[in-house]
Amino acid sequence: MTRGRVAYAGAIHEAYPHGDGVRLADGRLCREEDVVWLAPIEIGTIFALGLNYADHARELQFAKQEAPLVFLKGPGTVIGHRGVTRRPREVAFMHYECELAVVIGRTTARNVPREHAMDHVAGYMIANDYAIRDYLENYYRPNLRVKNRDGGTVLGPWFVDAADVPDVGNLELRTYVNGTLRQRGNTRDLITDVPALIEYLSGFMTLAAGDVILTGTPRGTVNVDAGDEIVCEIDGLGRLVNTLAPDAVFGRE
Partner 1 sequence: MFALSDHLLHLEGEALPREMDAQAVRCLLAGGLACRAPVTGAVYGTLLNDRASLDALGEAMHAPPYGAPPEAPILYVKPRNTLAGHRAQIEVPAEAPGIEVGVSLGIVLGRTATRVSEAHALEYVAGYTTVADLSLPHASVYRPAVRFRARDRFCVIGPALVAKRHVATPDRLELTARVTGQRDFTANTASFVRGASRLIADVTDFMTLSPGDILTLGAPHGVPIAHAGEQAIVAVGGFAALHLSFVDTAQSREALR
Q: Does 77 bind partner 1 (CB under 8 A)?
A: yes
Strand partners, 8: 11
Distances (CA, A) of 139 to 70, 142, 238: 14, 8, 36
Strand partners, 4: 15
CA 79, distance to chain mean position in Å, is 10
In this chain, which of 7, 59, 116, 143 binds partner 1, going by CB under 8 A? 143
Cα angle for residues 212, 213, 216 (degrees, 5° grid): 145
Identity of residue 127: A
Which lies closer to partner 1 via its Cβ, residue 35 or residue 70? 70
Cα angle for residues 202, 208, 214 (degrees, 5° grid): 70
Under DSSP, the state recorded for 100 is E
Q: Does 107 bind partner 1 (CB under 8 A)?
A: no
- Element (DSSP H or E) covering residue 212: strand 212-214
Q: Does 180 bind partner 1 (CB under 8 A)?
A: no
In this chain, which of 76, 113, 169, 227 binds partner 1, going by CB under 8 A? 76
Rounded CA-CA distance 252/164 in Å is 43
Q: Does 113 bind partner 1 (CB under 8 A)?
A: no
- Tell me the residue length of the chain: 253
Q: Does 37 bind partner 1 (CB under 8 A)?
A: no
Which lies closer to partner 1 via its Cβ, residue 151 or residue 238? 151
143 contacts 154 by C-beta, under 8 angstroms: no
Q: Does 56 bind partner 1 (CB under 8 A)?
A: no
Contact track, partner 1, 193-232, x by CB under 8 A: -----------xxxxx------------------------
Q: Does 130 bind partner 1 (CB under 8 A)?
A: no
SS3 238: strand
In this chain, which of 30, 54, 144, 209 binds partner 1, going by CB under 8 A? 144
Q: Does 75 bind partner 1 (CB under 8 A)?
A: yes
Q: What minimum distance in Å lies between the beta carbon of 203 and partner 1?
A: 8
Q: Does 246 bind partner 1 (CB under 8 A)?
A: no
Q: Does 28 bind partner 1 (CB under 8 A)?
A: no
Binding residues (CB under 8 A) for partner 1: these are 44-45, 47, 67, 69-77, 110, 135, 137-145, 148-150, 204-208
